[in-house]
Each structure stands twice: as C-alpha cells, then as structure tokens.
C-alpha cells in the first residue's frame, strides 16, 4: 500500500515524469544502433517515425480524439500497449509513464512488440510522413 511510488517500478516512474529528453536526430539514430541493436535496414524508418510522432522528445504525450493517449518518443498508445493507471498492463506489460523518461530501453522493447505485430503501419506519423519516402535521408549523415 505504498501508493503510486510503492514498488520499484512505480518508484522509477516518479522521477521519470521530470526527466524527459529531446534527442538530436543523429544522436537518436546512433543510440538505436549502438545501445538497442537496431539494424541499418529499418533505422531510417524508426528515426523518421520518431521525428514525426514526437520530435524526438521522450516526454511527449498526445491526447487522441477517441479518448486514448500516446506516450513517449514513439507515441505508444494506452488503449492497446501500455497501462495508463498504476501497475503494468496491456500488450507491452508496462506503465505508460515509463515511456516519458530519458531511458529508451522500455520504449524500444514496446515499439519492437508493436512493429513485430503491425509493422510501421501502426503509426500514423510514419504512414503520413515516412511511407514511400527516402527515409535514409534521416540517417545517412549520422554514421
């Protein structure tokens, strides 16, 4: 009965809300490759997606017209993928607020679950801005 910050994960979320980060484009691309094992074949799509979903801001949120909310650099939706309430839930098994800090590991884990299930088509930011474009332009000068 420790309340919102009672357990280890919840304690982590307490500080996350104030520790978001806005990445530079190439900094984000390099972190995805170097720390999270993304391959170059899809990297341009991920960087384009993050640019148009959150402007590389890990603390970004968006309230959708259907009453759901998107969280973090990949704008992960609380109707399907994360639990907006205390505790973990939904398909990624994580709290939504965990996506708002500067640590990308949990965001990446959930984004890969979404991608493996639906591809980039799960993100309107990708559909509207990256699909059928030369997404390599987002990363070609980063390495």
Contact at 8 Å (CB) between 58 and 100? yes
Tell me if residue 6 falls in helix, strand or coil.
coil
Tell me if residue 143 falls in helix, strand or coil.
coil
Contact at 8 Å (CB) between 77 and 64? yes
Which residues form the catalytic set?
53, 70
At 106, list the tokens.
């949990």
């Amino acid at each position: 009965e420790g309340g919102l910050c009672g357990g280890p994960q919840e304690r982590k979320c307490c500080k996350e809300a104030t520790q978001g980060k806005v990445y530079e484009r190439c900094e984000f691309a390099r972190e995805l490759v170097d720390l999270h094992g993304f391959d170059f074949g899809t990297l341009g799509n991920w960087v384009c997606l993050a640019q148009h979903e959150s402007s590389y801001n890990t603390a970004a949120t968006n309230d959708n017209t259907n009453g759901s909310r998107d969280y973090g650099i990949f704008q992960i939706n609380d109707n399907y993928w994360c639990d907006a309430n205390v505790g973990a839930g939904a398909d990624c098994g994580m709290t939504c607020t965990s996506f708002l800090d500067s640590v990308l590991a949990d965001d990446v884990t959930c984004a890969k679950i979404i991608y493996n299930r639906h591809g980039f088509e799960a993100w309107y930011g990708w559909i509207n801005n990256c699909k059928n474009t030369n997404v390599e332009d987002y990363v070609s000068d980063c390495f």
